[in-house]
Copies of this chain bind each other. A is one copy, B any other.
Amino acid sequence: MEKIDLSQLDYDEIKDISKKQMEDVFDKKQAARPILNEINERGDKALIKYTKKFDGVELESDNIKVSDKRIKNSYENLSEREIQALEQARDNIIDYHETQLPKKIELDEFEEGITLGSLFNPLEKIGAYVPGGKASYPSSALMTLLPAYVAGVNEKIICTPPSKDGRINDMTLAAADIAGADKVFRVGGVQAIGAMAYGTKTIDKVQKIVGPGNSYVTAAKMLVRGKVEIEFPAGPSELVILADSSCDPGYVASDLLAQAEHGPDSLVILLTTSSEVLDSVKEEIKERTNSLNRSEIIKNSLKRAKLVLGEQEELINLLNDVAPEHLELMIQNPMSILNEIKNAGAIFVGNFSPTAVGDYATGCNHVLPTGGMAKIHSGLNVYDFMKRSSLQFLSKKGLRNLREITEIISEIEGLEAHSNSIKERFKEE
């Protein structure tokens, strides 16, 4: 943990910290490209080859897809309360995302005879990448598939890597089923992205690939863009907390530790106006770290942590420059500064809104832009799985009102037949 007094430090030294987190992804493109090419050319055969190479699992072409029976069986290894928690999380995710759903058809009459609007349709087929291997990420299955479900996407598939014994974790399988996955495939890594982008005999080509993965997976997603769409490239997880003397340093410390346990490359930053808070948080973190299961990961992550002291205004500027994935506001009257927040994936307001509750339970999405991408991108949402057609419906009177503008600009652009297509409608006049 580096303690920084902003008044004694070059602001620029810290503002690009999140952007640097993405460099690792750019480095992986070289390694990902030949694997993608081989999947494109050899399909399932290449999938099987790379699953053996990277996951140590021998697949056959008829067991790349997880069987319906296996998915059904997965529930047997979950407790009743685990199943209920996943189902409640699902319901909350659906409730929240339904507020984002546009009306299928929107039409307004702008002037007499000029009715304009939108037609919204879902994408047809999407694929979600869910990390796997030793760990289990049922929440990723929920967060990626359910916005697509709310949008009305017809076919939703999941690719997730098997563990060494060739199995997919029961929790992940049950969550995939609870989230409404149509098919689950036992493949991960670059090869899974290639399969969903190009299609193989077993895995259909999808229109959009979403979901978190390691830097190889993300590099692969970036490379297949154009063939398919992706939501955004995401790197290691990040949390910035803005806290003043009104905060509880124990809450701040526990949230920073939760963030740090994601992985050794997680980024945690405390911005505070109070040197007492800074010192207490530092103390609390030190006291708690060793007793945690993932203390080694946490210690590695904390090496790059920043605890920054400054004036509130400059701290707000700094957080906007960092554009963190997660932002917690533990200050007095946090609502009063929302208008000053320009860039953040998800904003957690007040002392009782820890990031963890948003990761799993509120219903908001946890697939969020990292690496400064919150300056440009939104977190995963229903619009990611829909597209909008404009609707333009004019009467003869409406067209007459727009006749002159259209003809003049057609002439400016030298497009005579454009102008004629308007004149044609009035040739008897």
Chain A residues in contact with chain B, CB under 8 A? 26, 81-82, 85-86, 88-89, 92, 95-96, 99, 104-106, 108, 110, 114, 116, 119, 121, 123-124, 135-139, 171, 207-208, 222, 225-226, 229, 233, 250-251, 254-255, 257-258, 260-262, 288, 292-294, 298, 327, 334-335, 338-339, 341-365, 369, 374-379, 381, 383, 386-396, 398-399, 402, 404-406, 408-410, 412-422, 424-425
A425 with B392: CB separation less than 8 A: no
CB pairs A–B below 8 angstroms (18 shown) = A89-B409, A114-B362, A119-B338, A119-B347, A123-B376, A254-B420, A254-B424, A255-B421, A261-B418, A292-B416, A334-B393, A335-B393, A350-B393, A350-B395, A357-B402, A369-B387, A374-B389, A378-B389
Given contacts A255-B421, A359-B418, 14 further A-B contacts (CB under 8 A): A89-B405, A96-B116, A99-B106, A121-B342, A123-B376, A207-B375, A229-B376, A352-B394, A356-B418, A357-B399, A359-B410, A361-B402, A361-B409, A364-B392
A292 with B417: CB separation less than 8 A: yes
Tell me which residues across on chain B come within 8 A of A135, comparing CB atoms.
413-414
Bound state CA distance, A422 and B386, in angstroms? 35
A390 with B379: CB separation less than 8 A: yes
A80 shortest CB reach to chain B, Å: 11
Bound state CA distance, A401 and B405, in angstroms? 58
Tell me which residues across on chain B come within 8 A of A389, comparing CB atoms.
327, 341, 343-347, 374, 378-379
B225 with A104: CB separation less than 8 A: no
Other-chain residue from B114, B171, B391 in contact with A347 (beta carbon distance below 8 A): B391
Tell me which residues across on chain B come within 8 A of A394, comparing CB atoms.
350, 352-353, 357, 362
Bound state CA distance, A376 and B257, in angstroms? 39
A361 with B406: CB separation less than 8 A: yes
Tell me which residues across on chain B come within 8 A of A390, comparing CB atoms.
345-347, 358, 364-365, 379
| Residue of chain B at shortest CB distance from A377 | B387
A366 shortest CB reach to chain B, Å: 9
Tell me which residues across on chain B come within 8 A of A412, comparing CB atoms.
82, 85, 136, 138, 171
Other-chain residue from B351, B379, B398 in contact with A388 (beta carbon distance below 8 A): B379
Bound state CA distance, A379 and B391, in angstroms? 11
A284 shortest CB reach to chain B, Å: 10
A417 with B257: CB separation less than 8 A: yes
Q: Copy number of this protein in the oligomer?
A: 2
Tell me which residues across on chain B come within 8 A of A262, comparing CB atoms.
415
| Residue of chain B at shortest CB distance from A396 | B352
Bound state CA distance, A391 and B414, in angstroms? 49
Bound state CA distance, A209 and B345, in angstroms? 21
Other-chain residue from B207, B361, B379, B408 in contact with A376 (beta carbon distance below 8 A): B207
Tell me which residues across on chain B come within 8 A of A358, comparing CB atoms.
390, 392
Tell me which residues across on chain B come within 8 A of A292, comparing CB atoms.
416-417, 420
Other-chain residue from B106, B124, B406 in contact with A357 (beta carbon distance below 8 A): B406
A391 with B361: CB separation less than 8 A: no
Other-chain residue from B85, B254, B351, B383 in contact with A383 (beta carbon distance below 8 A): B383
Tell me which residues across on chain B come within 8 A of A108, comparing CB atoms.
99
Tell me which residues across on chain B come within 8 A of A338, comparing CB atoms.
105, 119, 391
A360 with B409: CB separation less than 8 A: yes
Bound state CA distance, A416 and B412, in angstroms? 66
The 3 closest A-B pairs by CB, nearest first: A85-B408, A378-B388, A349-B393
A257 with B421: CB separation less than 8 A: yes
Tell me which residues across on chain B come within 8 A of A89, comparing CB atoms.
405, 409
Tell me which residues across on chain B come within 8 A of A85, comparing CB atoms.
404-405, 408-409, 412
A416 with B261: CB separation less than 8 A: yes
| Residue of chain B at shortest CB distance from A342 | B121
Bound state CA distance, A420 and B82, in angstroms? 18
